[in-house]
């Protein structure tokens, strides 16, 4: 007992398959009474178009791959940014009737799988959440001549439209906030330097503190909570007189707060802390975290817009969205 086909609908409605197809696809060149007959047949039979057959002839699939090329660690589960981005992108794509195919690419093996899948024409376009610089995927996909947009500026110079937030500007305003509130020895916990976000946020820190005596030392984490805790301990050991720290993301900032507490430093009295991202948890730390908010939802929406332009030939200039300093109690 197979699913009913268009043929069956046509037969029941007493019309040709072509006419039934016209009705299904909403063409207006069908007489009302015939149209009604077809619609009734569709309803009675419970007809649903076969997508494989349809995309075989239309060469479209109406689905988009969301490729998350994660750095291998468990960041995906832990960092709420991923789920927020996935969720937003998903909602946006839904609105334009595209399906989301989620692909996680961590190992080289799965990279190959992703490439094969994309090359197989399963999807009309790709949204890439690529995080680390050495990632071969952006270039590989671009080579496939498939519409690709990237969340975050690709680390390798490859010609892909992208959406990013103003990492440099955000970091600058965060650090400036520390300077203006009178801090004198401002350290930073930078993100991984093979990620653009890691690089740019460190650059922003350096831009503000260059040639000033407020500068302190730099520790590098990998955007996980744990690495933030480790880096903070290290900073405290290397420069016990630091009175502020700019942390490249909130997850690491949470770890840093923990280390500061363990070291007996009061926040913000002894050490001020500024994070980046404004994840939900930033409201709930002790004390609540001053951080830089960037509009993940808008970013996702912009990404979908870019992809649409890629399909339809609109402008595909990179979109850089601003960040906003959210002052809470930690700085």
Partner DNA sequence: ATCTCGTGAGAGAGCGCTCTCTCATCATCC
Partner DNA sequence: GGATGATGAGAGAGCGCTCTCTCACGAGAT
- Minimum CB separation from its own copies for residue 122, in Å? 5
CA distances from 9 to 32, 33, 42, 55, 57 (A): 17, 15, 6, 20, 19
| Cβ atoms 101, 113 nearer than 8 A | no
Q: Could you tell me how many residues of this chain bind its own copies (CB under 8 A)?
A: 49
- Minimum CB separation from DNA for residue 115, in Å? 17
Q: Which CB sits closer to its own copies, 90 or 216?
A: 90
Q: Does residue 66 touch its own copies according to CB under 8 A?
A: yes
Stretch that binds its own copies, among 69-77, 129-137, 162-170, 316-324 (CB under 8 A): 69-77
Report 145-204 residues binding its own copies (CB under 8 A).
none
- Minimum CB separation from DNA for residue 35, in Å? 7
Q: Could you tell me how many residues of this chain bind DNA (CB under 7 A)?
A: 26
CA distances from 301 to 96, 116, 127, 236, 260 (A): 11, 27, 11, 41, 37
| Cβ atoms 308, 301 nearer than 8 A | no
Q: Does residue 158 touch DNA according to CB under 7 A?
A: no
Q: Does residue 57 touch DNA according to CB under 7 A?
A: yes
| Cβ atoms 19, 10 nearer than 8 A | yes
Q: Does residue 44 touch DNA according to CB under 7 A?
A: no
If we measure between CA atoms, which residue out of 50, 136, 168, 128 comes closest to residue 304? 128
**Which class for 85: exposed (0-12), middle (13-18), buried (19 or more C-beta within 10 A)?**
buried
Q: Which CB sits closer to its own copies, 52 or 134?
A: 52
| Cβ atoms 312, 327 nearer than 8 A | no
Selected from 43, 56, 143, 238, the binder of DNA by CB under 7 A is: 56
Torsion angle, alpha carbons of 272, 276, 280, 284, to 10: -10
Selected from 1, 25, 157, 180, the binder of DNA by CB under 7 A is: 25
Q: Which CB sits closer to DNA, 47 or 162?
A: 47
What, of DNA, its own copies, none, does residue 254 touch, CB below 5 to 8 Å by kind?
A: its own copies
Selected from 11, 30, 91, 325, the binder of its own copies by CB under 8 A is: 91
If we measure between CA atoms, which residue out of 303, 272, 305, 304 comes closest to residue 289? 272
Selected from 11, 34, 101, 320, the binder of its own copies by CB under 8 A is: 101
d(CA 119, CA 125): 11
- Minimum CB separation from its own copies for residue 261, in Å? 7
Q: Which CB sits closer to its own copies, 1 or 134?
A: 1
Q: 127-157 in b/e burial notation, b at 16+ Cβ within 10 A?
A: bbbbbbeebebbebbbeeebbbbbbbbbbee
Query: Token pair of 181, please?
Result: 């509130």
Bridge partners of 87, per DSSP, are none
What, of its own copies, DNA, none, does residue 80 touch, CB below 5 to 8 Å by kind?
A: its own copies
Selected from 11, 39, 45, 49, the binder of DNA by CB under 7 A is: 49
Between 225-238 and 250-262, two packed helices, what is the crossing angle to 10 degrees? 50
- Minimum CB separation from its own copies for residue 208, in Å? 29
Looking at residue 283, what DSSP letter applies?
G
Binding site for its own copies (CB under 8 A): 3, 46, 48-53, 55-56, 61, 63, 66, 74, 76-78, 80, 82-84, 86-87, 90-91, 94, 99-104, 110, 113, 116-117, 119-122, 225, 254-255, 258, 261, 280-281, 284, 286
Q: Which residues bind DNA (CB under 7 A)?
A: 2-3, 5-7, 14-19, 21, 24-25, 29-31, 34, 47, 49-50, 53-54, 56-58
């Amino acid at each position: 007992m197979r699913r009913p086909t268009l043929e069956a609908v046509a037969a029941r409605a007493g019309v040709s398959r072509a006419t039934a197809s016209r009705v299904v696809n909403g063409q207006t060149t069908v007489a009302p009474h015939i149209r009604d007959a077809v619609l009734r047949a569709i309803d009675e039979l419970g007809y649903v178009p076969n997508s494989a057959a349809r995309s075989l002839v239309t060469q479209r699939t109406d689905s988009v791959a969301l490729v998350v090329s994660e750095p291998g660690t468990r960041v995906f589960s832990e960092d709420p940014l991923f789920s927020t981005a996935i969720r937003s992108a998903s909602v946006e794509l839904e609105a334009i009737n595209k399906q989301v195919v989620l692909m996680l690419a961590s190992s080289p093996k799965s990279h190959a799988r992703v490439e094969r899948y994309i090359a197989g024409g399963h999807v009309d376009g790709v949204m890439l959440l690529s995080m680390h610089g050495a990632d071969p995927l952006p270039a590989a996909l671009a080579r496939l001549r498939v519409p690709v947009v990237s969340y975050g500026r690709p680390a390798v110079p490859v010609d892909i439209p992208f959406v990013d937030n103003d990492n440099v500007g955000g970091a600058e305003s965060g650090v400036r906030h520390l300077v203006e509130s009178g801090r004198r020895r401002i350290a930073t916990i930078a993100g991984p330097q093979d990620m653009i976000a890691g690089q740019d946020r460190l650059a922003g820190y350096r831009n503000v503190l260059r040639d000033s005596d407020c500068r302190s030392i730099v520790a590098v984490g990998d955007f996980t909570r744990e690495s933030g805790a480790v880096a903070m301990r290290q900073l405290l050991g290397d420069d016990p007189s630091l009175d502020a720290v700019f942390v490249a993301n909130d997850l690491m900032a949470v770890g840093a707060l923990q280390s500061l507490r363990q070291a007996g430093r009061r926040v913000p009295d002894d050490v001020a802390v500024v994070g980046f991202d404004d994840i939900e948890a930033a409201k709930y730390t002790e004390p609540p975290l001053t951080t830089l908010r960037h509009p993940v939802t808008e970013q996702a929406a912009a990404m979908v817009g870019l992809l649409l332009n890629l399909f339809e030939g609109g402008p595909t200039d990179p979109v850089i969205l601003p960040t906003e300093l959210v002052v809470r109690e930690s700085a």
